Amino acid sequence: MMRLTMAALVLGVLFGLPTGARAQWAIPDGVKTVSVGGYPLAYQETGSGEPVVLVHGSLGDYRIWYAQAPTYSKDYRVLSLSLRHYYPERWNGVADDFSIAQHAADVAALIQRLNLGPVHLLGHSRGGAVVLTVAKEHPELIKTLILEDASGMEGLLPETPGTKAMAGEVKGLVARLRENRPRATRRRPARNSPTV
C-alpha cells in the first residue's frame, strides 16, 4: 500500500497532476479541490474538449451553473468553480484574502495547476471583474473572454469628472456598508443564556 501511495505521489509530481488540498470543511460528492496558494479551491468538472472555466458572481458559487454546465459539457470540458471563501466553505468573514485580486490569482493558479490554458473564461457579475483581472495579468491563459452582466469595468473607463464622481459614490456606499456591518451582525443573547 505504501509503495502504491508513493508511486501515485511521484507520478503526480512528474506529470503535474492536480492534487486535492485538504479542506477543513465537508466537500460534497462530485466536487474536486485543487490547492492554490495553500487554499483548497472547490470545482466541478464535466465533459471533454476545450476547457471552459465558469466564474460565479457575489451571490453564487459553483452550483449557480447547474443549468448551463450540462449543455456546455456536450462540446467542452467545463469547470465551474467556487471562489475562495464561497460554498462549500462556511466562512466567518474574517480574513484579508477576499478580494478581486486574490480571486483572480486563484483562477489563474487553477488554470495553471490543472494545465488547462488557454481557456474560454466566463465571468458573471462580480466574476466578470475577476476574469477581467485574470485577462489583464495572464493573457496567455485566455483563449476567449466572456463577460456576462459583468461588474468591474469601471477601471477601464477614461478618467473624467463623471467617472471620478461615480468612483467616489461607490467608495461612499462601500464605506456605509462597512460602517453598518457591525450593527447588523451583532447578536442578542437568548433569554436564558449567559451574557458573554
Per-residue model confidence as pLDDT tens digits over 103-134: 999 999 999 999 998 999 999 999 999 999 99
Single pTM value for the model: 0.71
**pLDDT for the residue 102:** 95
User: Hey, is 127 helix, strand or coil?
Assistant: helix
Grid cell listed for 123 = 465571468
pLDDT for the residue numbered 15? 37
Q: How many CB atoms lie within 10 A of CB 52?
A: 25
Which set of grid coordinates corresponds to residue 65?
451553473
Could you report the per-residue pLDDT of 126-158, keeping only the tens digit for each?
Answer: 999 999 999 999 999 999 999 998 876 766 667
